[in-house]
Amino acid sequence: MIVEAKIIKTLFEDIFSIEEARILANDLDNLQNLLYTNYSDVAKMIENDVNSSLRTKIKRLIDIDSKDIVNELSELIRITKSIISDSKVFNLTVAIQPKGKLQRSVTQWLRQQTSKLVFVNFVFNPEIFGGVLIEFDGQFRDYSLTKLFNV
């Protein structure tokens, strides 16, 4: 049985935005479709038809040579998709276009502060002049410089 905490640590270690999580969900949908169309040799299918990043993570989570590989993969897919659908998203509107390192740092900090798997959706809007607009869990906070300078 695969533990949810291990899935989060392994599969989401380099996924910080909701878009990246959706790509993972799509990759898992594709894997699930492959399982039901070509699972006579699942280990070979994983080696040949799954992208290298996901393949490496799957191998860290389950033994691909296991006799119960189809059920284990199905369970991994089910749990992972549930984690994604239950996760929270911070919408941050910022005045500068954030780069990968900033996105990772902010997401990691928010995960530490909330002790939850969260994703950040950055929206670039130079009209806020500086600072950030935060939307999370139905709440909105304006920490932009727009009001300060009456822009």
* pLDDT tens by residue, 36-87: 886 678 888 888 888 999 999 999 999 888 888 888 999 999 999 999 988 9
- Rounded Cα–Cα distance for residues 84 and 78 (Å): 10
**pTM (2 decimals)?**
0.81
- Rounded Cα–Cα distance for residues 6 and 80 (Å): 11
Q: Are 120 and 131 in contact (CB under 8 A)?
A: no
- Rounded Cα–Cα distance for residues 71 and 143 (Å): 48
